[in-house]
Chains A and B, each alone.
Chain A
Amino acid sequence: MDPISLLRREIPGDLTPEEEATLASALSAAYHMDETAATSRDVQRIAEKVRARLNALSEAPAHDSSSPDTP
């Protein structure tokens, strides 16, 4: 069961107890993923790298490639 489609179901009363549990579990997992990320050392380390690259990109001359996201 896909929790997103459960959330989008037009008549929520139609959810079975099993579907309710699936949705609650998915919401809780998403919430905890987000909570964990806020204090994660790994995420903080990546944030430092993002900051460094953003600084480097802002100092580099702008380029005008037509498809900069393609390798």
Chain B
Amino acid sequence: MKFPSTPLSLLSKLKHPDDSPMWQASWKRFLELYHEPITVVAMSCYRHHTGGQVPSPGFVEDAVANVIADFFSRSQHRYDPSKGRLRAYLRMLSNARVVDLLRKERPIDHRSLDEAGLSEAPEESDHERDAFQRSLLAMLIEDLRGQIPMRQFEIFERVKLKHQSPEYVAEDLAITRAMVDRYIYKAMTKLRELAQQPEYQQEMAD
């Protein structure tokens, strides 16, 4: 099933969710876009709560899966963009799920965990910031794909994202080099326009 809407409208739609099958299926796409920053946060939370220990790959996978499932579960409180950034919500949710799994993982020496500090996620690292930034840029690119003509996106994708030379793309598509430049300029202009949307502005704010 195709992703139900553009990522930009996904962020808006989170404010007014429905239970349509397409909405329910969108978690797969969300996982692809956000698995990296959630993984980084989960590992950071684990280290934070265990005095620097490193989680197993299985633990991290479980934590990421639980975050995504809870994010999309009907039984949970929904993310509300009016109350803060998606990024902050995902950090909070990731910390909560890591703590859940830690309690399951070590029920006997449960007391070795700093109970008072469990609700606090560690400070955001540069690594984490970079990962969230990549996810946001990927969402913008996805949005751009749905907002401009297919040919325009293809040229932008080949030159800007896949690093094919403009000359090669022009020759391959039997168009002039000037046309390639024009298409790329238009695509970049649209990308900047999308980045100015309030939903993105909120997520991108420093």
Give A contacts to B, CB under 8 Å: 2-5, 7-9, 12, 24, 26-34, 37-38, 42-43, 45-47, 49-50, 52-54, 57-58, 60, 62-63, 67-71
Contacts and interface: CB of A to CB of B under 8 A. Distances in A.
A46 B65 contact: yes
Nearest to A57: B73
B31 A47 contact: yes
Contacts of B192: 7-9, 12
B70 interface: yes
Contacts of A4: 133, 136-137, 195, 204
Nearest to B38: A46
Contact of B35 (A43, A53, A67): A43
Interface string B80-93: 00000000000011
B141 A30 contact: yes
Nearest to A42: B61
Contacts of B74: 57-58, 62
A37 B201 CA distance: 25
B99 to A, nearest CB: 4
A30 B62 CA distance: 24
Contact of A8 (B64, B65, B161, B195): B195
Nearest to B66: A53
Interface in B163-206: 163, 188-189, 191-192, 195-196, 201, 204, 206
Contacts of A50: 27-28, 31, 65, 68-69
A45 B138 contact: no
Query: Interface on chain B toward A: helix, strand, loop, or mixed SS?
Result: helix
Interface string B83-123: 00000000011011001100000000000000000110000
Given A26-B134, A29-B134, A69-B76, 6 more contacts: A4-B133, A28-B163, A30-B135, A46-B65, A57-B73, A70-B92
Given A4-B137, A34-B138, A54 B27 contact: yes
B33 interface: yes
Contact of B119 (A37, A49, A70): A70
Nearest to B131: A33
B25 to A, nearest CB: 11
A21 B37 CA distance: 24
B119 to A, nearest CB: 6
Contacts of B46: none
B31 A46 contact: yes
Given A46-B68, A69-B70, A71-B96, A31 B138 contact: yes
Contact of A54 (B35, B72, B161, B195): B72
